[in-house]
């Protein structure tokens, strides 16, 4: 028996309640899947990167400017439900290590692997009612659509617009695509740097024939 046939004879109020329950069930299923991915993949990434993060933290602690061993930056960000939390990152110029050092926030549930940009309370206060509402329903992300498109330079690739687009269209497929792009961009940059370093820089003398002399 199809859903349409079962719906015959039911009042509009009952149909509206059924439709609302189905939407809630679908949303809960999506949230559960997203959170499961955060825990599983976030824990695996944290385990794999913990040696590198530990070495980076040790190097920062021994570096003279740190002195007191303060290797972390601490900033207040607004998370799910509008609740503030302290975002901790390694105090390093290497963006990749700084982002990976936030993985504990993913495992704890303060961040998601993919989501809108984590904003400060002051930035959140400047949002309109609509943006403030959907942001409260989404965890901010370790990475996101705004982060992977940040360098495109296109006018429609403003972070606020990209975050809003993600909020409207987010799902497992888009999350996996953003994660793949987040990995591909730094890898491609690293390969380009390595290739540029490996190129031979030949001077004019390298092309001279044997026995060539300037005096000639």
Mean pLDDT of 71-81: 92
**Residue 214: predicted pLDDT:** 43
Q: Tell whether the model's pLDDT for residue 147 goes beyond 70.
A: yes
29 vs 109, residue with greater confidence: 109
Give the tokens for residue 40.
């599983």
Q: Give the pLDDT confidence score for residue 198 in this predicted structure.
A: 61
Q: 157 or 67: whose pLDDT is higher?
A: 157
Q: Are 159 and 168 in contact (CB under 8 A)?
A: no
User: Which of 92 and 48 is assigned the larger pLDDT?
Assistant: 48
Given a cut of 60, is residue 187 above it in pLDDT? yes
Listed by start position, the domains of the chain span: 29-189
Tell me the C-alpha distance between 55 and 160, whole Å: 35
199 falls in which pLDDT band (50, 70, 90)? Answer: low
206 confidence band (pLDDT: 50, 70, 90): very low
173-208: b (≥16 Cβ within 10 Å) or e: eebeebbeebeeeeeeeeeeeeeeeeeeeeeeeeee
pLDDT band for position 101 (cuts 50, 70, 90):
very high
């Amino acid at each position: 028996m199809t859903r349409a046939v079962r719906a015959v004879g039911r009042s509009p109020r009952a149909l509206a309640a059924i439709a609302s329950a189905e939407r809630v069930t679908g949303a809960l299923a999506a949230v559960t899947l997203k959170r499961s991915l955060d825990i599983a993949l976030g824990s695996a990434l944290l385990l794999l990167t913990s040696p590198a993060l530990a070495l980076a933290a040790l190097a920062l602690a021994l570096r003279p400017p740190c002195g007191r061993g303060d290797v972390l930056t601490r900033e207040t960000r607004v998370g799910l439900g509008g609740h503030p939390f302290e975002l901790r990152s390694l105090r390093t110029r290497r963006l990749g290590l700084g982002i990976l050092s936030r993985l504990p926030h993913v495992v704890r549930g303060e961040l998601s692997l993919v989501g809108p940009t984590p904003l400060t309370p002051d930035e959140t206060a400047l949002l309109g009612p609509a943006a403030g509402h959907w942001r409260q329903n989404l965890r901010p992300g370790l990475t996101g659509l705004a982060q992977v498109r940040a360098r495109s330079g296109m006018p429609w690739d403003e972070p606020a617009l990209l975050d809003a687009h993600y909020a409207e269209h987010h799902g497992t497929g888009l999350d996996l695509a953003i994660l793949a792009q987040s990995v591909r961009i730094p890898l491609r940059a690293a390969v380009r740097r390595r290739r540029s370093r490996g190129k031979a820089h030949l001077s004019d003398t390298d092309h001279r024939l044997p026995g060539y002399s300037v005096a000639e």
